[in-house]
Amino acid sequence: MRLIKQNIERDGSGTITLFPEEPEDMWHAYNLIAPTDLLRASAIRKVTTEGVTGSTTSKRVHATLLIRVTSIDFDPQAGQLHVGGKVAEENKWVGVGAHHTLDLELNRNFTLEKKEGWDSVALDVVREAIKQDKEGTVPAVVMQEGLANICLITEHQTILKQRVETGIPKKRSGRSGDHDKGLTRFFEVTLETLKRHVDITLPRPLLLASPGFTAAGFQKYIMDEATRTGDKAVLANKGNLIVVHSSSGHLHSLNEVLKSPEVLTKLKDTKYSRETRSMDDFMTLLRKDDGRAWYGPAEVEKAVEKGAVGRGGGVLLISNSLFRSQEIGTRKRWVALVDKVKEDGGEARILSSDHESGTRLEGLGGIAAILTFPLDDLDEEEEEAVPNGTNQEPTV
């Protein structure tokens, strides 16, 4: 994402103009744009005119529209962002108050203004979006016989690019020919599909995960094909094809894949890996039950008020989905909490709900904290309402 123009006043009012250059930028835009914002972008509008004889004609015209946002629809697989709202500025082709959906596109500017002003979280999203030193995307294939999920692990989300499913005959006693042919065909289709979405010659990790020996068989197939076709770039990249165990070929198994030692070594400096470690650290403390790990909105807010999430190791974990609330007051509540933790010298980590770590955090109410000193009975009110209720470790 490129910053074209920033005009922000000391009170937070003003506009920012951005230029999305790659699909990941649409994800940043999705996290930046919220209901009640003013959004200006180019649009195509169908216009109907009536002639002197009463006949009507329709044509599509290009215009720049300003809308007050009411809805946001994001398709991460296609990288498309559709923003609906009411036209907020008179235009030659459309009147104020008319509904319109702006389709934000790559390589086209859009300008955003926040009704309640630009808060610290929104400005952090902008800073993250325009950061030049983007961390690399890591491709992965999570598979089992007859099923392969091809996905991309970006800095901020996991994107399923395509699912491959083919029928493979079962092995029969003394007759494995049909099974072997089916498996080879499955590998062939998976490799063709993988190449459409991923450049497997780039010097970066390519994760191949499966139960049993399916992933190892697929790795061998890739290298055999590279040898057969004389693809030196793929042959030279063999060391980056990492085979790891997973309990199944379904996408949710990516969680255990990313915890394997060989994968952690390769991904130790990525944002995804840091978020995963943050959640693992929290769950470890929660299991100890020593009062230093709490989750849930009320409990975490109490801990922050008591200064327990500050300097000396305090960490606030909060899902970015909480900042998408259509209620301005709700967003302000979480922004204030993040600001308070930072003021106290603690660390505030906003986890992506589109990553596995963020999904785990969602299961805890979207918010958790590691405290610098133990606190007891933060859930006392909830215990009174629900007999025997405790802040026990959830199943996530």
Percentage of residues in the chain having pLDDT higher than 90? 56
Average pLDDT (167-192) is 87
Average pLDDT (236-241) is 91
Both 87 and 158 in a single domain?
no
Helix/strand/coil for 297: helix
Both 142 and 263 in a single domain?
yes
Question: Residues 6 or more apart from 174 whose CB is under 8 A from it?
Answer: none
Both 163 and 195 in a single domain?
yes
Of the residues 106, 130, 154, the one at which a domain ends? 130
Domain range for 119: 2-130
Q: Indicate the pTM of the whole model.
A: 0.64
Average pLDDT (120-134) is 82
Cβ atoms of 338 and 348 within 8 Å: the answer is yes
Burial tier of 208 (Cβ tally within 10 Å: 0-12, 13-18, 19+) = buried
Both 260 and 178 in a single domain?
yes
Assigned domain for 381 exists: no
Assigned domain for 59 exists: yes
Helix/strand/coil for 393: coil
Both 293 and 255 in a single domain?
no
Assigned domain for 389 exists: no
Assigned domain for 361 exists: yes
Both 11 and 112 in a single domain?
yes
Q: What gap in Å lies between CA 81 and CA 75, rounded to an integer? A: 6
Q: What gap in Å lies between CA 32 and CA 201, rounded to an integer? A: 34
Assigned domain for 248 exists: yes
Percentage of residues in the chain having pLDDT higher than 70? 91
pLDDT over 60 at 269, yes or no: no
Q: What gap in Å lies between CA 216 and CA 227, rounded to an integer? A: 17
Q: CATH number of the domain that 183 lies in?
A: 3.30.420.60
Both 148 and 100 in a single domain?
no
**pLDDT score recorded for residue 64:** 92
Both 256 and 288 in a single domain?
no
Both 229 and 297 in a single domain?
no
Q: What gap in Å lies between CA 137 and CA 152, rounded to an integer? A: 6
Both 251 and 279 in a single domain?
no
Number of domains in the chain: 3
Assigned domain for 69 exists: yes
**pLDDT score recorded for residue 22:** 81
Both 321 and 248 in a single domain?
no
Q: CATH number of the domain that 81 lies in?
A: 2.30.30.870
Lowest-pLDDT range of 129-143, 247-261, 307-321: 129-143
Assigned domain for 193 exists: yes
**pLDDT score recorded for residue 8:** 93
Both 152 and 252 in a single domain?
yes
Of the residues 77, 108, 130, the one at which a domain ends? 130
Cβ atoms of 185 and 166 within 8 Å: the answer is yes
Q: CATH number of the domain that 323 lies in?
A: 3.30.1330.30
Q: Regarding predicted confidence, which is higher, 267 or 19?
A: 19
Of the residues 211, 232, 267, the one at which a domain ends? 267
Assigned domain for 395 exists: no
Average pLDDT (143-158) is 87
Q: What gap in Å lies between CA 357 and CA 352, rounded to an integer? A: 8
**pLDDT score recorded for residue 190:** 97
